[in-house]
Amino acid sequence: MPIYTLKRGIKSMAIRREYIGSGKKFIRYSPEEMADARQTDMLDFLSRKEGFTFIKVGSVYQCKERDSLIVQGDRQRWYWNSQELKGLNCIDWLMKIDGMDLREAFETIIDLSGNIKTEFVKAPEIKDEPKEFHLPPKSETYRNAAAYLTKTRMIDSHIVSYCIKNSYIYQDQYKNVVFVGFDDKNEAKFAESKVTNTFYKRKPKNVSGSQKEYSFNLTYLTPESNKDTVYVFEAPVDLLSHATMYVISEKKRAERLGQKPDYDVWKKQNRLSLSGTSDVALQSYLQRYPEIKNIVLCLDNDEAGRNGIAKINEKYADRYNITVHIPKLGKDYNETLVSYLTVAEKATEQRTVDNSEEVAVTNTTQRSR
């Protein structure tokens, strides 16, 4: 039975390993032994077992003897294209390639003779090297980005204009809209791009090298800004949709009182996009703005959003006042905004039709007299 040499040489606990059940002998393995077995270095494993050698090709390892056999950069996951097989570790290899059951696979990796040792080589931990951050090249126009945000996403044009003018938003050379996050020195450290062509369903992505600690946010934009509260969202579009709702409310108020609306009303609230549900951006934000005492969670109304809310609440509730504002008319705040404005637009159109019919009836009555 082959034994794969260990770098660590960790001895397992002295436990009774064999027992009899249904007339068969079985072997007990501790959870730690099974976890270690699954972390066996596939390059070492396949070299010893199959005599394979590998060469580094980009971020993966390719087998010289079987060129369709690839081991991933973590030196555990593998796939064999010609055989249409793949796995997460050496245990999967023994079961899928050699036809072993789970017990036989573990016996092959773990030495069962004498003092019990888990002496196979563990795959090294892969640390991501820091990537240099560069904003995507700007386009000479903002036409696609502005149209996407104001027409498709129905975000208020005053908000979009402000963000473009102040470099929070721009359009890249591929017609994507780019949302930018800045550090305390007003240097761009984060960017998230989103396609403006609605035909493509690609999710927003963070630009390589982005520091999520400086995720897209609009904070302290005016002297009247609320100093102690931040509204937290999963995505920039939801953040801007929430700001738009403030403008809509202000328009209604001004119309009711016969006043001119204050289109800067949305600037009085601080807003942060997490670029997902992780609290990395929130933790950094709270450190940079220690005046914040209240966190309003406006994450998506789905399982991921609810889980994110629960984790943030558990982590920060002892230091901050946390409230939750769930989107009412959709999964997120943009769906809520679009639904609301669509219904309002239809109602306005219907009122226009009703008024036109009323005028037509009145005119007909007058002519008949």
Q: Is the pLDDT of residue 133 over 50?
A: yes
Residue 23 has pLDDT above 60, yes or no: no
Is the pTM higher than 0.85? The answer reads no
Residue type, 247: V
Split at pLDDT 50, 70, 90, the class of 107 is: confident
Measured in degrees and rounded to the nearest 5, phi and psi for residue 219 equal -135, 135
pLDDT at 137 over 90: yes
| pLDDT score for 31 | 78
> What is the average pLDDT score of the chain?
83
Q: Which pLDDT score is estimated for 66?
A: 87
Model pLDDT for residues 167-211, shown as the tens digit of each residue: 999 999 999 999 999 999 999 999 999 999 876 666 778 898 999
Measured CA to CA, the distance from residue 268 to residue 247 in angstroms comes to: 11
The CA distance from 249 to 242, in Å, is 11
CATH architecture, range 10-118: Alpha-Beta Complex (3.90)
**Residues 75-90: what's their mean pLDDT?**
89
Confidence (pLDDT) at 4: 40
Stretch 291-311: mean pLDDT: 95
Looking at residue 310, its pLDDT comes to 96
Higher pLDDT, 7 or 101: 101
How many of the other CB atoms lie within 10 Å of CB of 314?
Answer: 10
Whether the CB-CB separation of 87 and 75 falls below 8 Å is answered with no
H/E stretch holding 342: helix 333-368
331's tokens: 């999964």
* 25-34, 138-147, 193-202, 262-271: the lowest-pLDDT one: 25-34
Burial class (CB in 10 A: 0-12, 13-18, 19+), 363: exposed
Report the run of H or E that residue 237 belongs to, with start and end. Answer: helix 236-257
**Does residue 154 surpass a pLDDT of 80?**
yes
CB atoms within 10 A of CB 22: 5
pLDDT score of 113? 37
Q: Where in the chain is the domain with CATH 3.40.1360.10?
A: 143-352
CATH pick for 143-352 out of 2.40.420.20, 1.10.3720.10, 3.40.50.620, 3.40.1360.10: 3.40.1360.10
The residue that leads in pLDDT, 236 or 26, is 236
Mean pLDDT of the region 37-64: 87
Domain with CATH 3.90.580.10 in the chain: 10-118
